[in-house]
């Protein structure tokens, strides 16, 4: 199966592109870790596949509407 066929079929079945699905999965995983652990944001970023300290907070803010630290703080209230 070609990449374009896979992407098209994936989008029809799942409702989003493979890249968008993986990005959302990573953010949901990060959100769970922020809520349930005391791990540093840097460690969580690495766990969910971000090598760059700058890229993870930017991506998380775009997904959640707030920085990872603010998300963690709000979820603990």
Confidence of residue 52 (pLDDT cuts 50, 70, 90): confident
Query: pTM of the entire structure?
Result: 0.86
Q: What is the pLDDT of residue 8?
A: 94
Question: Residue 53: its pLDDT value, please?
Answer: 79
Q: What is the CATH number of domain 3-75?
A: 1.10.10.60
Q: Is residue 59 within 8 Å of 30, Cβ to Cβ? A: no
Residue reference for tokens 């699905």: 21
pLDDT value for 12: 96
How deeply is 30 buried, as exposed, middle or buried, from its count of CB atoms within 10 A (0-12, 13-18, 19+)? buried
Domain extent listing, the chain: 3-75
12-32 confidence digits (pLDDT tens): 999 999 999 999 999 999 999
Q: What percent of the chain has pLDDT over 70?
A: 100
């Amino acid at each position: 199966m070609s990449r374009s066929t896979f992407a098209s079929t994936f989008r029809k079945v799942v409702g989003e592109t493979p890249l968008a699905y993986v990005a959302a999965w990573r953010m949901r995983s990060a959100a769970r870790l922020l809520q349930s652990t005391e791990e540093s944001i840097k460690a969580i970023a690495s766990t969910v596949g971000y090598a760059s300290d700058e890229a993870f907070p930017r991506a998380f803010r775009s997904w959640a509407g707030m920085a990872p630290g603010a998300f963690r703080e709000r979820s603990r209230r």
